[in-house]
Chains A and B, each alone.
Chain A
Amino acid sequence: MRSIRRQLLLALFATLLLTFSASGLVSYFTTAHEIRELFDAQLIENARVIKGVMNHPAQEVDWEHMRDSLGESLNEVISQEDLLSEGHNYEKKVAIQVWTPDGNLILRSPSAPAYSLGPLRHGLYERKSDHYHWYIYTSQMQANGFWLIVAERSDVRTELTMNIAASLIVGSLLGLGLALWLSRRTLNHELKPLDELRHAITHRNPDHLKAIELPSPRVELAPVVSELNHLLDRVTTSIERERRFLADAAHELRTPLAVLKLQAENAINANASAEQRLHLERLISGVDRSTRVVEQLLLLARLDANAVPFTPQMVALDEIARDTLAQLAPLAHARRQELGLSHDGISLITPGEPSLLGALLRNLVENALRHTSEGGEVDVSLYEEKGNVILQVRDNGPGIDPNHLGDITERFVRSHSQDTQGTGLGLAIAAHIANLHHAMLHLANHPDGGLIVTLTFPARKTA
């Protein structure tokens, strides 16, 4: 994923690098150019001075003497070349040659080579000889027609230019580093509200949707936070509306069902014929079935909407099992089914919501009873294994088509299409409640036939 921090730092780094490089290059070339101009001017000036000394008719100049004195003064400079004393670092390494117009070298300073440094033509030249790079100024003396060549080694110019370039680079690098370090610090500091926002959002859930307030607000984040708060507000409203709707729906659906049932019962009591009685009793069982679907749907919807009071307390599962089985005994009796509880009498305590656990077990046992033929058997067993409390419901019905085992806890999925009694919601409710209690719901076909539903409550942590 793209990182704002990295992208910003990268962009900043690229910009700074480009700016520093460009300004460095421009400064370098300008400086090099200026240094050259300055040094060239000095070279010409020097040449002029020397020319002034030598510009006499040839026979009047004592060339021998001139060479000696020149050698002495220039040697003094050159011998100090290695002393590294500050004053001499930039002393120019100057060489002088004087040529006759017909090409004889009649004078040269000790530092000058014996070969010609440049062409005998008036002007400024640059020349690479065997060892050195020379800057050369050539001019002709009018008095004697001799050519004077004053040359200067490039060392000094190069060193000066390099020093300036080096300080430019070091300065740029320091600036770049400082700028990046500062930007990183600032960015980290300024992005802190994002962490605060993440933290605030993590701590929101459907039951806690308070508006978000950042400890360190930022103009850039304000619209996001404000939109989020609007959203939270809308979600809160819609959750409340949903819960209210569910409560209203419960009322509005149960009352007409009660009317239907009462009227059918009244009709039976009003001297109904045997045939009318049969139909009215069928009507009543239809109403009962609708009632069951409504109850199951409402419970599931309330579970979905987190509208069920869930405040776990320590409950005895064996008591819940006995109560639930007692409630379902008439159904088992009507279907001539054997219903029983296998439990060794030791109370099994687990944290949970009693009414929900009752609904869970009721759904599992009802399911087993409905899917077992008349005269069948349903056994509920309750025991402890490795600290886990385990509740098992086993029937000797047809079991579940293996292709359906995976999705049987989905809503409105039934194992058999001819099943007319189930609502298709029982196992979905069971799965939901199990999930609330962090319990594992497992369905399997028994090799000897029938279905085994196992509910495993996690081992209790010892306080």
Chain B
Amino acid sequence: MRLLLAEDDIMLGEALQEALMKQGFVVDWMKDGHSALHALQSEHFDLAILDLGLPRRDGMEVLSELRRLGNELPVLILTARDALDSRVAGLDAGADDYLLKPFDMAELSARLRALLRRRAGRAQPRLVHGDIELDPASQQVTLKGEPVTLPRREYMLLKELLDHAGEVLTRDRLETSLYGWMDEVESNSLEVHVHHLRKKFHPDLIRTLRGVGYMIPKPSLGIES
């Protein structure tokens, strides 16, 4: 995977380059907007990380110029600017995602992989959570290696929650992804599915955030590799 990193801060650039290389990326590091745009135009990259406050050409300019030229490269914006204003502007200019400094490396690498997957349209990798494994390709779920048969909606609910482990998914969001727009939702069917999943796996697999939604906590807060 070849990645272009445009970051003018030397210390941050070095640290990022090292961390990204450990994640298995080939990193080309550019320190200003002009050379970043030049590199992006003349060579092939799979991914770009753009800092917004770049010298010579602002990150936003590089991005809109890139999009104007029809380059569909996945771009993640890295910004030290405030979340309140630049987020919308960045996404409007054609960024695929953004992250505020300072950030978790785990978070950054998860987002980069998500961007790559989305771009490639590839099937998602197996989701592993403790002794539970879910394979999206075969739609197989195993507990301690033993296959577990799940009805379609319970499978979809488990996959959605595992996909966003550590995040609370609101009831509205889960119901939409489970039933689509047209289906009638029985008021307590979500609770019923959750109840079944807890019974089939672990009683405390899914946590309830009362009044908000559900979450499968991350197994450990360590760093993915």
Contact = CB atoms under 8 A, between A and B. Distances in A.
Given A326-B167, A326-B170, A341-B210, A250 B81 contact: yes
B45 to A, nearest CB: 21
A245 B225 CA distance: 39
Interface in A294-351: 298, 302, 308-309, 321-323, 325-327, 329-330, 332-334, 338-343
A85 interface: no
Contacts of B83: 355
B211 A342 contact: yes
Interface string A237-274: 00000000001001100111111111101101100000
Interface in B29-55: 53
Contacts of A342: 210-211
A355 to B, nearest CB: 5
Interface string B197-215: 0000000000101111101
A291 interface: yes
Nearest to B171: A322
Nearest to A334: B221
Nearest to A343: B211
A329 B215 contact: yes
A309 B84 contact: yes
B217 interface: yes
B209 A340 contact: yes
Interface string A120-132: 0000000000000
A410 to B, nearest CB: 25
A268 B18 CA distance: 13
A44 interface: no
Interface residues of B, number: 38
Contacts of B213: 322, 326
A334 B215 CA distance: 13
Contacts of A327: 168
A55 B12 CA distance: 139
A287 interface: yes
A265 B102 contact: no
Contacts of A340: 209-212
A395 B225 CA distance: 38
A269 B104 CA distance: 13
A330 B217 contact: yes
A255 B80 contact: yes
B103 interface: yes
Interface in B95-142: 100-105
Contact of A291 (B12, B53, B102, B167): B102
The binding surface of chain A is classed by DSSP as: helix
Nearest to B211: A341
Contact of A287 (B100, B102, B170): B102
Nearest to B108: A262
B16 A333 contact: no
B11 A256 contact: yes
B163 interface: no
Question: Which of A259, A334, A343 is the most central at the interface, judged by chain B CB atoms within 10 Å of its CB?
Answer: A259
B192 interface: no
Contacts of A262: 12, 15-16, 19, 102, 105
Nearest to A323: B170
B168 A259 contact: no
B223 interface: yes
B186 interface: no
A108 B117 CA distance: 147
B82 interface: yes
A86 to B, nearest CB: 96
B176 to A, nearest CB: 14
Given A255-B80, A265-B19, A322-B212, 8 more contacts: A254-B102, A265-B104, A325-B211, A325-B212, A327-B168, A332-B209, A355-B83, A355-B84
- By Cβ-Cβ distance, the 4 closest A-B pairs, closest first, are A341-B211, A340-B210, A326-B168, A258-B102
25 contacts: A250-B80, A250-B81, A254-B80, A255-B12, A257-B101, A258-B80, A258-B101, A258-B102, A259-B15, A260-B102, A262-B15, A262-B16, A262-B19, A266-B18, A266-B19, A326-B167, A326-B215, A329-B167, A329-B207, A332-B209, A333-B207, A340-B210, A342-B210, A342-B211, A380-B211
Interface of B: 9, 11-12, 15-16, 18-19, 22, 53, 80-85, 100-105, 166-170, 207, 209-213, 215, 217-218, 221, 223, 225
Interface of A: 247, 250-251, 254-263, 265-266, 268-269, 287, 291, 298, 302, 308-309, 321-323, 325-327, 329-330, 332-334, 338-343, 355, 380
